[in-house]
Amino acid sequence: MATAAAAAAAAAAAAAVVATPTGHAVAAEAAGQTILAGPPPTPGGLGGTGLGSRLAASETGTEHTPRGPKPAAGPRVVSEESPGFLLSPQGEYSLHPISQTVSGFLPRGSPHSSHFLRVSGILRATDLSTFRSHLPLTKTRQAKEEESEEKLLSPAPLQDHREASLQATLLGLVTLNKAYPEVLTPGSTACVTPTSPWPNSVPWLRHALGRVSPLGAKDSQTLLLEALISPGLRALEARTAVELLDVFVGLEADGKEMAEAIAAGNLGTPLPSRAAELQEALEQGPRGLALRLWPKLQVVVTLDAGGQAEAVAALRALWCQGLAFFSPAYAASGGVMALNLWPEQPQGFYLLPPGVPFIELLPVKEGTQEEAASTLLLTDVQREEEYELVLTDHAGLTRCRLGDVVRVVGAYNQCPVVSFTGRLGQTLSVRGEVTDENIFSAALAKAVGQWPGAKLLDHACVESSILDPCDGSAPHYEVFMELRGLRNLSEENRDKLDHCLKEVSPHYKSLRLRGSVSPAKVHLVRPGSFRVLREALAACPSSSFPPEMPRVLRLGHLAKLLQKRVMS
């Protein structure tokens, strides 16, 4: 389904690809060029060698036979609500905007639109080669960033996929209600960030969730104050886990002032007893703080995305100890990618649904992208294999490799169930090695586990050439981290990260033994430094945050922002 703007641009310019409601392809002529309308459908059958090999049945011939009741008299719009196609080859039709995301066809001469197309043929639904030839894969967003810091390209825009986001929200509410029915009672939920974790913030969402206050133009501190004066909360919401981490770190830093504001009644009635409870809870330290503040709290709701796992681990271990975590969906810069129907699964299993956005899967071998490999449809994937997500952007008419990698763990109602394993763009390479996000995170976690009393809250990596390209030393990794429980690192402890990297990466070990790479340099930053970084990321046009949190920084000004806040 193309937007009206995209359809007009296609009719006036070069060939492009848009989606038809049923997924069948329609070849049309406009301005002397051929337009292919409609990427192949996500097939409905599952079974055979992969998750499934039976494609959805497609009609033969050049015309689609209408299905369903006989249409009413008057012009017929081919739309998502139509029971079938009435388009005929060589017929002339005008584009009719049905909504912001759907366009249909009317016979030429209709007063509703001046953009007309000539249908030159109807392609079979399984004509993948035509679809792929018209829309070649584009580079991942991270690769674009690396090309030029001065000429950054914006990430794939967050599409107005209202159907997908609404579906994720509704299914998420049903799932949450089944697992924690008391969460939806009035006054049981508070969101402590200006933006909700629910993909579609429909007007009735506040009432459905029983929020203590409406979302609006409020800062996180005001929202937190409103949550603090409500001791009966059962669910705590934040857009992402890293933003919730910032909220709790800020609460510890500004707890005294917030208690004074509650006692003075800055939000209404003075509540000195509640202010005293807040101060007492803070004095006992971060571990289990959320349950001390809200004894009835059951679940924390955040939106899952790349780079959030570290924050979830820190919240589970400290402030939100003993609480369940739930994400209604997995999101990327292209929108909602997958749905969460299993809140009891701590591993984070998600369902890849058919429909909009149109998703393909590119096989990943040995941590790299297979350039010659063809993308697969949802039904063609194999269990226990890893794939990179490929998103068709219906507004910009592009197919973009997102860099997000999933492992197929099963199937549900003929759709793949996946777990997200990493991001291909989040790799370090100073001498041709490939230290991906998972390898580095494993080494870092192992090293931090050897630092007595230390708990990792946040980290980011930078290749040394980005910070100082004229440095005469061998290239190396610069690692910035925020820790809890440790304010200074000995040289012996700093060296443990280098030892752990050599243990998990044979290529890195080989480079270190030859002296081609210097040991990784570890820097501790002041509390709140990553909150400042996230504010800078949110203001950067090329950034994928929110919702994704980068762990490898490619831009010099972002790396120097952390460098200025080093305390050890």
Q: List, for residues 288-333, the tens digit of each pLDDT value.
A: 999 999 999 999 999 999 999 999 999 999 999 999 999 999 998 7
Q: How far apart are CA 88 and CA 155, in angstroms?
A: 38
Asked, as a colleague might, if the bond just before 357 is cis with ω within 30 of 0, I would say: yes
Indicate the pairing of strand 329-332 with strand 335-339.
antiparallel
For the chain, the distance separating the N- and C-terminal CA atoms, rounded to the nearest angstrom, is: 54
Q: Which of 243, 244, 253, 240 is nearest to 319 (CA)?
A: 244
| Model pLDDT, residue 217 | 54
- Amino acid 179 reads A
Average of pLDDT values for 8-34?
31
What is the pTM assigned to this prediction?
0.76
pLDDT at 412 over 70: yes
| Model pLDDT, residue 14 | 24
| Model pLDDT, residue 445 | 96
Answer for the pair 561, 536: CB distance below 8 angstroms, yes or no: yes
pLDDT at 369 over 60: no
Q: How far apart are CA 559 and CA 525, in angstroms?
A: 12
Average of pLDDT values for 2-7?
35
Answer for the pair 234, 297: CB distance below 8 angstroms, yes or no: yes
Full 3-state SS string of 483-534: EECCCCCCHHHHHHHHHHHHHHCHHHHHHHHHCCCCCCEEEEECCCHHHHHH
pLDDT at 156 over 70: no
pLDDT at 27 over 80: no
Dihedral of the CA atoms 42, 44, 45, 49 (nearest 10)? 30
Sign, Cα dihedral of 40, 379, 414, 361:
negative
Q: How far apart are CA 334 and CA 399, in angstroms?
A: 11
Answer for the pair 478, 522: CB distance below 8 angstroms, yes or no: no
Average of pLDDT values for 456-471?
91
The pLDDT tens digits of the residues spanning 371-409 come to 557 899 999 999 999 999 998 866 656 788 889 999 999
| Model pLDDT, residue 358 | 86
Q: Which stretches does DSSP call E strand in 324-476?
A: 324-326, 329-332, 335-339, 350-351, 358-365, 368-369, 386-393, 398-412, 415-423, 455-463
Instruction: Say which residues have a Cβ less than 8 Å from residue 363's Cβ, sequence separation at least 6.
Output: 370, 373, 376, 385, 386, 387, 388
Q: How far apart are CA 436 and CA 440, in angstroms?
A: 6
Considering only residues 19 and 286, tell me which one the structure prediction assigns the higher pLDDT.
286
Asked, as a colleague might, if the bond just before 547 is cis with ω within 30 of 0, I would say: yes
The pLDDT tens digits of the residues spanning 136-151 come to 887 655 444 444 443 3
Question: Is residue 38 very low, low, confident or very high in pLDDT (cuts 50, 70, 90)?
Answer: very low
pLDDT at 134 over 50: yes
Considering only residues 455 and 73, tell me which one the structure prediction assigns the higher pLDDT.
455
Q: Two tokens at 322?
A: 């003993």
pLDDT at 53 over 90: no
Q: How far apart are CA 345 and CA 112, in angstroms?
A: 50
**23-27, 106-110, 270-274: which is most confident:** 270-274
Average of pLDDT values for 457-485?
92
Q: How far apart are CA 524 and CA 544, in angstroms?
A: 25
Average of pLDDT values for 24-28?
34
| Model pLDDT, residue 414 | 83
Q: How far apart are CA 45 and CA 56, in angstroms?
A: 6
The pLDDT tens digits of the residues spanning 74-92 come to 333 333 333 333 444 455 5
Answer for the pair 479, 466: CB distance below 8 angstroms, yes or no: no
| Model pLDDT, residue 346 | 74
Q: How far apart are CA 192 and CA 221, in angstroms?
A: 8
Average pLDDT, the chain: 77
Average of pLDDT values for 242-264?
96
Answer for the pair 261, 254: CB distance below 8 angstroms, yes or no: no
Answer for the pair 405, 387: CB distance below 8 angstroms, yes or no: yes
- Amino acid 461 reads C
Q: How far is CA 383 from CA 49, 51, 337, 378, in A?
A: 10, 7, 19, 12
**DSSP code, position 182:** G
| Model pLDDT, residue 33 | 31
| Model pLDDT, residue 129 | 75
| Model pLDDT, residue 102 | 37
Q: Two tokens at 92?
A: 């002339």
| Model pLDDT, residue 246 | 96
- Amino acid 147 reads E
| Model pLDDT, residue 347 | 75
pLDDT at 550 over 70: yes
| Model pLDDT, residue 109 | 52
The pLDDT tens digits of the residues spanning 329-352 come to 999 876 888 999 998 887 789 999
| Model pLDDT, residue 242 | 97
Question: Is residue 355 very low, low, confident or very high in pLDDT (cuts 50, 70, 90)?
Answer: confident
Average of pLDDT values for 484-507?
94
